[in-house]
Amino acid sequence: MKPSPEWMQRRERGSLALLRLMCRTSLLAGRGPSRIVLHGIALYFSLTAPQARRASRAYLKKALGRPPSFRDLFRHILHFSTTIHDRIYQLNDRQDLFEIRIFGAEPLHSLHVGGKGCFLFGAHLGSFEMLRSVARDHGGLRVSVAMFPENARQIHDTLASINPKVVLDLIALGKIDSMLEIHRRIEEGAMVGILADRASGPDRYLELPFLGKPARFPTGPFRMAAMLRHPVFFMAGLYQGGNRYDVHFELLNDFSSSASREEEIRLTMERYVAALERHCRESPFNWFNFYDFWKAPDCENP
């Protein structure tokens, strides 16, 4: 049996009791006061998580085009902590706390009006939770998120306790009927979001240039989209400081009209990686893969 990807082998850090206490405190005190504690948490992990710190430094050097300072490393982890913290309010239907700008959503509204669904391929870039916020605020767009939940079980269970309805929006990957459930929801007019920059298990990879160095991306999500023959959009909810988020949508391909499947899969992946790289350079502190993303193929899941 092939080993799991490195990100799935990392043990989840943090205490479940502490996470729940932070959630309750944040809802009682409000976003502003609780962010004071958030800065302390980010500083703690900046100092005590050497693997994440090394990965952050390697990535930021590529994205910034210069060696990062400790302040850059702290800012990177603070952005990550902030997006998790803000999910508490987003799942509690407090979208009024945020200033959200949306770019490129017109084609999605056209699909929705026609009763059609699509794939939204995101990455561990910014806040994917902003997708749900956008859907709730724009004409009843239906959103489901397909994910492998085990690696962040503590965070997911804690956030689900804030709003149990969030569980209904989740499609667990790795099950026998996962693809059938995804197909059913898209056929019913839903948008299905997938974080397509990581594999959730053994997968076929395609090596593509990313931030100046070859990196391997899993082909599984793209093969599924080609097999089910639905449109695919890139999506990113980028944290811009304060209470501001920019949500971007970009059409990658419409597999419902594709002819050459393998050629179209590669083309779609190239467009996906190009969009991902562009946003990493424009908003570098939003990339949250805290492991060696560029590890050589013979070292991980060959």
* Other Cβ atoms within 10 Å of 94 Cβ, number: 15
Domain coordinates in residue numbering, the chain: 6-293
- pLDDT of amino acid 300: 40
Q: Tell how far CA 204 is from the center of its chain.
A: 20
Express each pLDDT in 38-65 by its tens digit: 899 899 989 988 999 999 999 999 999 9
138-175 burial: b if 16+ Cβ within 10 Å, else e: eeebebbbbbbbebeebbbebbeebbeebeebebebee
What residues pair up with 244 in beta bridges, in sequence order?
A: 99
Task: Check residues 158 and 32 and name the one with the higher pLDDT.
Answer: 32
Q: Which residue has the tokens 């959503």?
A: 105
Confidence category of residue 162, pLDDT binned at 50, 70, 90? low
**What span, in angstroms and rounded, lies between the C-alpha atoms of 210 and 197?**
11
48-60 burial: b if 16+ Cβ within 10 Å, else e: eeeebbebbbebb
What is the percent of the chain where pLDDT is above 70? 80
Indicate if the pLDDT at residue 254 is higher than 50.
yes
